[in-house]
Each structure stands twice: as C-alpha cells, then as structure tokens.
Structure 1
Amino acid sequence: MTVPIAIIGAGIAGLSAAQALREAGHSVHLFDKSRGPGGRMSSKRSDAGALDLGAQYFTARDRRFVTEVQRWQTQGWVAEWTPQLYNFQGGQLTPSPDEQTRWVGTPRMSAITRALLGDVQAQFGCRITEVYRGEEHWHLQDAESFTHGPFSHVVIATPAPQATALLAAAPKLAGVAAGVKMDPTWAVALAFDTPLDTSMQGCFVQDSALDWLARNRSKPGRDSTLDTWILHATSAWSRQHIDLPKEAVIEQLHGAFAELLHSAMPAPVFSLAHRWLYARPAGSHEWGALADADLGLYVCGDWCLSGRVEGAWLSGQEAARRLHEHLQ
C-alpha cells in the first residue's frame, strides 16, 4: 500500500503542489480549515452574487506560470480583465491606464481553485493543529483531537504564522517561518441599487484608509443586478483597526469611498466585511519553498516568494519538485 503525502492548506500553493505531485505519480490528501478550497482566492456567495473578497486579480510574469494561465484560459477558468483604472492621490481622482495584463477567475475567482482541486482527496472544515512523527510515518492531529495518517511526507501550505505552529518537529524551518511578517487587510463589499455615477472600474488609492477598490460587474462573467464594489483597506489601517466591529469597518470604509468620489453616496442595499488576518507577506523572499528533506517536511506559500498569486503557484511547484527529487 502506498502511503499518501499530506498537504495542509488548499489555497493556490497547496493545490499547485498537489497537482505537481499527482502528475509525478504520488498520492496526496489535502486538508483545509475552510469549507472549500481557495484560501485568499476564494469567493464569497452572497445576496449580491459571488464576491471576490481576497485576491482581486493576478498577473503572470514567469514563463512557467504564463503557460499554466494559458491552460486555465483554454479551460475557461480565467479571462483577461481590462478595467478602466484610476489613481486617487492628494484628493485627486485621475484616469491611470497601464499595459499590465490582469487575469481573473470566471465566473468568480474561486473557479480556478475549484477546478484545480478536481478529484483530489480532500478534507475541508478540518483545522490541523499538530504535525508529528511516528516511528516511520507522519501523523496529523486536528482541532477536534482526531488523528489523520499515516503519511510519508507533509507539505505545509499555509500563511507563515500558521505554518510556524505546525513546524514543531523542524525547529529550523519554524524559525524561518516565525520571522516572516504578514499584513492584514479588511475587505468590504458594498452593493447599490442604482449604479454609482462613475466610469471607474478599479482604483489604486493613496493617502486614505483605502488601498484599492474595484467594481465587481466590470470583471468578465459576473452578472448581478446590483452595482457591487469591493474595497480593500491599507495594511496600516487594517492593523490599527484589527478588532473593530464589522459594522464600524463598513461605515468607515464606505465614508472613505464617498470622499474619494466627492459625492453624497447612497446607502448600500447590502454590505459585508471580511478580515484577512494574513493577507500578504510584508516583504518578498527568494526561498521558493522551505524543506527538511531528511525529515520529509516541506513548506510553500506566497510568502516564500513574491507574495503574489504567481508566487504561491510557483512555490507549490518548487515544494513538489524538491519532494519528488528527494525520492528519486
């Protein structure tokens, strides 16, 4: 009987590792604390349709990732998003077009990770709290005190602070992960009955509590009768207001949005707030992935590289490559 490889975390990094390992002939078992795959690429179903509250779009620069995104496009999982972009600085809102190719999942961001999951064996709603070594294999313990295993290797594909807690068996790797600072982001969705009077579809914001905002319906494949906007607060504002009640977060960011548009904005017919505690790494690293090959522990995630979706995917590929090579 082949002992499978455990992968903790079903965001882009974990799914990328799972895909590469399966292609190399390995059996994998995924675990994630959420109800479904996606991590920060997931979309939230709501009364205003599906909302991309996390990653808003992604770019592809590395040749390997460009090839992968082309495959996704052929499958119909992604499409190019060409928003009317603006910049807001010093109280001025100015059009800010650029040449960047931006990709989004269709009809929602989570389409990509759902498709990547495919028929991989996965357990959702399962928060792994401990990774420990038996006589010859790895075992995982979850928050309900259930034990999962045996596993030949373990790939940890979670944000750095969560990875640190799972790396007790590899103090060196735990030390590296513990040194990575990740920034939070408050995300707010606002939906309006009457479309807001602006041609703006995406905006990079300076000198405000806001960092970014996007008009959801400008993305390909989104159909909603409402005019829905996604607002992201800056890391600094989010950290300062990390425990603010959701209603207050919505109120403050709605106010910042109105200030930016210089208009008496109508009250939204729908609103929600979501707190990403570990939205993005504060800096970028060049590790690719972390590994203790002798132990059989591997770590990947956007924080091992650029902090972007591309970095997460490449990191998952790198963890899988190292693991597979060690077995050769």
Structure 2
Amino acid sequence: MSQKIAIIGAGMAGLSAAHALRQAGLPLQLFDKSRGSGGRISSKRSEIGALDLGTPGFLAHDPALRTMLVEWTSAGSCASWAAVDNPQPYWVGTPRMSAISRGLLGDLPAAFSCRISEVFRGEHHWQLLDTEGVSHGPFSHVIVAVPAPQAAALLSSAPVLAARAASVVMEPVWAVALGFAEALPCVRHTLRFDDEILRQATHDSAKPGRDNRLDSWVLHATAGWTRQHLDLPKEAVIDHLAHAFAERLGQCLPPAEFAIAHRWLYAYPARRNDWGALADSQGGLFACGDWCLDGTVEGAWRSGARAAQLLLASL
C-alpha cells in the first residue's frame, strides 16, 4: 500500500488501531489536538509530580489486552495495584498513566497540537484539513478515534456513521487533584460514592511507582453535578469537591498545599453500546472509541482493534 492510513486521535482507541495496523505492516499517520498521546489515560505534570486526572486505572478481561499487559508490565510501563478491592487485577501506568500511551506510541509518526476539522474524499483518496487551514494527505483510509460528538462532525462523508456517532450522549466530569503535606488518615486508597457530588476518590500518590512530593488524591465529580456546573470557576469546583470529600470521610481535611481542577467535557458515554466500531468499508472510513462499547479503557482498546480488523478485511 503506497498511501498511508490516517488515524485521528491518539488516545487508547487510536493507539490500539495503530498498533494492529503497524503489526500488519501498513503505513499510518496519527493526528491529535493535544500536545501528547493518551486522551483520558494521559497524566498532568505539576509542581508536585505527575497526576492522573483522567482514568485512575482499569480492569482487563479481553485476552488480547491481557497479553499486551504482560508486555507493558515487562517494559515497566504498567503494574497491577492491589489497593483496589476486586477479584480481577486493577491496572495502572507506571510511573504515571501516560506511560502506557507513550509506550504504545513508540516511534509511530504522529502530529500533535493538530486539530483536524474536516475529512473529505477526493477522487481516489482522503484528505484532512486542520484548523490552521493546512491540508494533510493523501490517505487511503481514515480511522476517526475521537469522542462521539467530535467524531460525528468528521464523519460527514458517511452520513449513516455520522448519525450514529451523533446519537451518543457523552457525560462530562470535573476532576480535582489535592496535595497534602501529610497522609490523610484513610484506610482505603480507592473510594466510590453513591453521592450527588462525588463519584470516586483515588489516592493517586499511593499507586505503584509514584514519587509525588505531596500526598495526593484525585476526586471525580458525578456527571450530573458536572453538567449543572460546567462553567463554574475552577477555584469553586475545587472548594465544592474538597468539602464533599471531607464530609464523606467524616473528618476535617487539613488545608491542601496544592490543588488543580480539570474538566473532561466528554468523559464517557451515558449508556453502553455494542457496536465495536463503525465502518464504511467501501468508502474507507472508520470510527472507534470507548463510546462504541462501554466507556472503559478496555472498551477503547477493543474498539480500536475492531476498527483495524474491519479495515484490514476491506483490503
């Protein structure tokens, strides 16, 4: 194949598709609007160390993903965390979540800080246009691996696919990281709440391989609360979630020496889908993401692998 395959999105789904296509010996090019890979498994560098503001970790049931986890563990970019009360291993990146995506990215050709705004079909190939007006291509096939609302706009050349992506409701989530000078008197490292404000709290600095300067916790708000407070200033979000966390623990928290907030506008799908991936095989346009399945890291991996499988079957 002389022309490359374009993959828009370098989160877990896009990287999974890229991994499968690279194994098949096909040339490809990744694009992502962010400065680096990973999406919600990326990490935020801060003055106290790296913080996992997105997905705190994940389970793996898929045999193919488990095989990859063995490789990632051997490479030192992943480890199981026994702090989570679950019969299945709970996996985290080491020394930060973004180590997983960095390992998958490797030497794959990627253009970061490049937001693709349009995907259009020429006579015999695909072209991409970014928000700076720069055209990229030609490409033989395109895989769109971004959140459903963004995917819908990029799939306009395949109306059936665009309509399906547009039907997906994505939930937003506010995330807050707090750093304390001393460890909080909490016996558990992961907490989930049946609550109007807080969805979960994770002892981020207790994960394997961390070297954070402060005892750090990452709090995730519920989708419902986030929807009601999408435009709340970050300082107010921090105050609300820190207060809710103290109430749930039943104790006064010491003043945080560090605090940061991040809003995930498209954190996970409101309901599960069973599509695997979307495909216009004849046209050479495909879409994948955790929204095609269950909103999990594993779902994103499986969806990307499925998109690659459908593309390879169309050749």
User: Do structure 1's residue 286 and structure 2's residue 256 form an aligned pair?
Assistant: no
TM-score by length of 1: 0.94
Provide the secondary structure at the position in 1 that maps to 2:202: strand
1:146-225 equivalences in 2 (<5 Å): 146-225=134-213
Structure 1: tracts of 5 or more residues without a match: 86-96
Aligned to 2:118: 130
More displaced 10-residue stretch of structure 1: 195-204 or 100-109 = 195-204
- 1:212 and 1:233 in contact (8 A); partners too: yes
In the alignment, the residues of structure 1 paired with residue 269 and residue 26 of structure 2 have an alpha-carbon distance, to the nearest angstrom, of 30
2:228 maps to what in 1?
240
Q: What displacement does 1:208 show?
A: 3.7
User: Per-residue displacement from partner, 1:13-42 (whole Å, max 9, x unpaired)?
Assistant: 000101101111110000000000000000
Partner Cα separation in structure 2 for residue 103 and residue 148 of structure 1: 36
Alignment partner of 2:114: what SS? coil
Q: Which moved more, 1:62-71 or 1:143-152?
A: 62-71
Partner residue, 1:90: none
Taking the aligned partners of 1:285 and 1:35, their CA distance within structure 2 comes to 29
Deviation at 1:55, TM superposition (A): 0.6
- The yes-or-no answer on 1:121 pairing with 2:103 is no
How far apart are residue 98 of structure 1 and its match? 3.6
**Cα pair 2:81 2:91 within 8 Å, conserved:** yes
Map of 1:67 onto structure 2: 67
One-letter amino acid matched to 2:290:
D
Q: Take 2:138 and 2:86, find their aligned partners in 1: how far apart are those partners? A: 50
Distance in 2 separating the partners of 1:57 and 1:68: 15
Q: Does 1:318 align with 2:306?
A: yes
SS at match of 1:153: strand
Shift, 1:132, TM fit: 0.4
* SS class of match (1:152): strand
Shift of 1:179: 0.5
Task: Give the counterpart letter for 1:318 in structure 2.
Answer: R
Shift of residue 299, structure 1, vs aligned partner: 0.4
- Find the residue that maps to 2:138 and give its secondary structure: strand
How far did residue 53 of structure 1 move?
A: 0.5
Contact 2:31/2:111 (8 A) holds in 1: yes
What is the alpha-carbon distance in structure 1 between the residues aligned to residue 16 and residue 305 of structure 2? 6
Deviation of 1:196 after TM superposition, in Å, equals 1.4
Query: Any idea what the Cα deviations from partners look like across 1:37-75, whole Å, max 9, x if unmatched?
Result: 000000000011000000111101122222221221122
Secondary structure of the structure 2 residue equivalent to 1:165:
helix
> Which aligned runs of 4 or more in structure 1 are off by greater than 6 angstroms?
none
SS at match of 2:212: coil
C-alpha distance in 1, partners of 2:127/2:195?
48
The residue matched to 2:35 in structure 1 has which SS? coil
Q: Does structure 2 retain, via aligned residues, the 8 Å contact 1:54–1:187?
A: yes
Cα distance in 2 for residues equivalent to 1:75 and 1:284 = 32
Q: Is the 8 A contact 2:117 2:129 kept in 1?
A: yes
Amino acid at match of 1:310: E
**Structure 1, 210-219 or 261-270: larger mean CA deviation:** 261-270
Give CA deviations for 1:155-185 in whole Å, capped at 9, x if unaligned.
0000100100101101110000000111011
With 203-212 and 272-281 compared, the bigger mean Cα shift is at: 203-212
Cα pair 1:208 1:256 within 8 Å, conserved: no
Q: What are the within-5 Å matches in structure 2 for residues 294-309 of structure 1? A: 294-309=282-297
Structure 2's unaligned 5+ residue stretches are: none
SS of residue in 2 equivalent to 1:213: strand
Q: CA deviation at 1:111?
A: 0.1
Q: Which amino acid aligns with 1:79?
A: A
Confirm or deny that 1:256 pairs with 2:244: yes
Q: Shift in Å at residue 207 of structure 1?
A: 2.3
Give the Cα–Cα distance (whole angstroms) in 2 for the partners of residues 80 and 47 of structure 1.
26
AA at the equivalent of 2:157: A
2:100 is the counterpart of 1:112: yes
Matches of 1:305 and 1:98, distance apart in 2: 22
CA distance in 1, matches of 2:184, 2:301: 36
Partner of 1:93: none
CA distance in 1, matches of 2:196, 2:227: 14
